[in-house]
Chain A
Amino acid sequence: MDFFILVWRNSFRKKIRFWLTCISVMVAFFLFSMLSGVNHALTVSVSDSNQYRLITSHKISLTQSLAINTQQKVAALAGVKQVSYASWFGGYFQNEKNQLAVTAVGHENYFTLFPEYLIPKQQLAQWQKTRTGIVIGQAIADKYGWKIGDQVPLSSSIWMNKSGSFNWSFTVAAIYKSKKQSAENNKIFFQHAYFDQGRAYAQNSVSWLSTEIKAQANVDSVIQSIDRLFAHTNSPTRTTTEQVFIKEQAQQFIDMAMVINLVVIAVFFTLLLIVCNTMIQTIRERSNESAMMKALGFSSMTLIKSIYFESLLLLGLGAGIGSLTAGILITFISQRFNDFLPGISLTPSHYITVFVLVNSAAAFCSAFPALAIKRIVISETLGGKS
């Protein structure tokens, strides 16, 4: 009790120095928390995908299409449970600024392959019966105020329809909620059949296949057998797990994650030096007092504990304020950035990381003072006529 009063008062002896150091701790942890919030968004959208689903696209690029009957050929392979397909629509609403993630999908089974999109049974059945029907995410429904039954015109920046227009008309048939943590409730799906018959060219083709493999099947051998099947055709394929696929798409983000980590490491290293230096200075200024306390019978361990708690207070206060400020800011910007980069958030594990970092930094920063305390020879320190 008294011990902590002493720690508290000692901490604030040099108020300016305390607060300057504390602010640098604050800034570092603020930065760390903001970046880790962004990092969460990057890693979560990557690791949420089912690793037992495969994506097959044209070997050269995603913009080259595959024949629609590749679906049946893949479905016939051993180890494959079911196959669906999809094509990228490149949609927007009214204005090219309102970009939407619109995909034409095989309406028979696409959503059995992707159970993470939760659609009420009736609505799903209704959509499957509605040729022009769209399934929209809850976020889209909220944003545009669209309800089931609404007629919605969407435009494509890629696909012209048979009437020579880029405007396509749709009917809202179902609304889904994603059960994934990154809450990707901002997509739109419609029937591939409507797309294929409606478009002016490139009939009977799809952009990619999605394949679910059987639980006991070997992922790598299924991948190989799919690609081998088309190796010598006009459209050779490249198949990967969905995870790898999304990772590749997000490659520039992944690199950003590495940059973030490097920045964080650099900041922490600097921070450690600053705090360490402060603590060393502190203990040097107090060598007389430390020697006196030793002469009174206080052990080195008590003095070391006291300097540890001083470091802990300094770091804890700075880290606490810094991370909480970031946490508050992140709840604001995560709403703003939800379309662009969903999933910006601070997890409980981030706060645990902060806690661990603070404690180990405190231990590190009291290591040199601890040595200095251990080395104090009372008679030498107090003997002089200081």
Chain B
Amino acid sequence: MKNNNDIILKDINKSYQKGDNTVVVLDHFNLTINSGEFVALMGPSGLGKSTLLHLMGGLDQPTSGEMVIGAQRIDNLKEAQFTKWRAENIGFVFQSHHLLPVLSAQGNVELPLALTPLNKKQRQEHASYALELVGMSDRSKHYPKELSGGQEQRVAIARAIVSDPNILLCDEPTGNLDRKTANEILAILAQLNRDFGKTIVMVTHDNKAAEYATRVINLESYMLEQNKCTVGEN
């Protein structure tokens, strides 16, 4: 039976206090992403794409509004609960891989499993499998500095999926990569979405991404649209 992993954002407000100024980033924002979607979030810099992703992943909390992920309210979780929830449900891929330089590819991918009850052997198996999925089996013993940018990003993806979260949140995962490598990464994400049913939300500036995603949201026009509706209703 497939879990319900719908991401529902209802009337989200998010603002930052900068000295005396309040920077409003999200204003009465609504968005629903269904289980199994691969969404490409596009739009100009400074619009709030990363902020949105951080909110969905529980790295940040909304000023107000309601967030439901997989039928669970997450906007009112305490920090410790959030941390646990995140470890079980969310995988992150950032523009920079943030791999630990002192651990091999295998070690880096095993790292999140230290938080699970899996034993040493199971952790090794899971990590090997994750590395296999991203095509890095032959590099498992290599350290980050011995890998290319694309390979590092593959390892980072393996780390994000190793504990089998249902949702992958990617913030410009191909931002630092050349065209060819970027395509390979996008293909891997698409495969994870298609073959393993991962729900993926990816922030990107890459127009090519549209070819891999199941839905493309241009955040700027989406926000304008929403505001019009709100105005229209009044």
The answer on a CB contact under 8 Å between A289 and B54 is no
Tell me the nearest residue of chain B to A385, going by C-beta.
Answer: B95
A7 to chain B, nearest CB (A): 10
**Any chain B CB within 8 A of the CB of A378?**
yes
Partner of A13, one of B87, B95, B101: B101
Partner of A289, one of B86, B88, B100, B114: B100
Partner of A292, one of B50, B80, B98, B171: B98
Partner of A297, one of B51, B84, B102, B172: B84
**Complex-state Cα separation, A294 to B95, whole angstroms:** 17
The answer on a CB contact under 8 Å between B54 and A296 is no
The answer on a CB contact under 8 Å between B98 and A383 is no
**Any chain A CB within 8 A of the CB of B112?**
yes
Q: SS class of chain A's interface: helix, strand, loop or mixed? A: helix
**Any chain B CB within 8 A of the CB of A295?**
yes
**Complex-state Cα separation, A266 to B69, whole angstroms:** 57
Partner of B115, one of A1, A6, A298: A298
Q: Which of B109-124 contact A (CB under 8 A)?
A: 110-112, 114-115, 120
Of the listed residues B59, B84, B95, B111, the one surrounded by the most CB atoms of chain A closer than 10 A to its CB is: B59
The answer on a CB contact under 8 Å between B115 and A297 is yes
B65 to chain A, nearest CB (A): 16
The answer on a CB contact under 8 Å between A299 and B83 is yes
Partner of A296, one of B50, B112, B172, B175: B112
**Any chain B CB within 8 A of the CB of A379?**
yes
**Any chain A CB within 8 A of the CB of B219?**
no
Tell me the nearest residue of chain B to A298, going by C-beta.
Answer: B115
B66-93 Cβ-contact flags toward A at 8 Å (1 or 0) = 0000000000000010011011100010
Q: Which of A1-36 contact B (CB under 8 A)?
A: 1-3, 6, 9-10, 13
The answer on a CB contact under 8 Å between B59 and A378 is yes
Which residues of the other chain, B, contact A9 by a CB distance below 8 angstroms? Answer: 102-103
Tell me the nearest residue of chain A to B86, going by C-beta.
Answer: A297
Interface residue total, chain A, C-beta cutoff 8 A: 25
**Complex-state Cα separation, A3 to B111, whole angstroms:** 9
> Given A378-B59, A379-B59, A385-B175: A288 and B98 within 8 A (CB)?
yes
**Complex-state Cα separation, A292 to B160, whole angstroms:** 11
**Complex-state Cα separation, A386 to B50, whole angstroms:** 14
Q: What interface size band does chain B fall in? A: 20 to 34
> Given A6-B103, A9-B103, A379-B54: A297 and B98 within 8 A (CB)?
no
A265-296 Cβ-contact flags toward B at 8 Å (1 or 0) = 00000000000000000000000110111111
Tell me the nearest residue of chain B to A377, going by C-beta.
Answer: B60
Which residues of the other chain, B, contact A378 by a CB distance below 8 angstroms? Answer: 54, 59-60
> Given A2-B110, A379-B59, A379-B60: A295 and B92 within 8 A (CB)?
yes
The answer on a CB contact under 8 Å between A13 and B175 is no
Which residues of the other chain, B, contact A383 by a CB distance below 8 angstroms? Answer: 50-51, 54, 171
Which residues of the other chain, B, contact A288 by a CB distance below 8 angstroms? Answer: 96, 98
The answer on a CB contact under 8 Å between A289 and B103 is no
The answer on a CB contact under 8 Å between A294 and B175 is no
Tell me the nearest residue of chain B to A383, going by C-beta.
Answer: B50
**Complex-state Cα separation, A383 to B114, whole angstroms:** 25
**Complex-state Cα separation, A31 to B51, whole angstroms:** 54
A288 to chain B, nearest CB (A): 5
Show 17 residue pairs from A and B whose CB-CB distance is below 8 angstroms, ordered by the A residue: A2-B110, A6-B100, A6-B103, A292-B98, A295-B86, A296-B92, A296-B111, A296-B115, A297-B83, A297-B87, A297-B112, A378-B54, A378-B60, A379-B59, A379-B60, A383-B171, A385-B95
Extra inter-chain contacts (5) besides given A3-B114, A298-B83, A377-B60, CB under 8 Å: A6-B100, A291-B98, A297-B83, A379-B51, A385-B95
The interface of chain B, by Cβ under 8 A from chain A, is 50-51, 54, 57, 59-60, 80, 83-84, 86-88, 92, 94-96, 98, 100-103, 110-112, 114-115, 120, 159, 171-172, 175
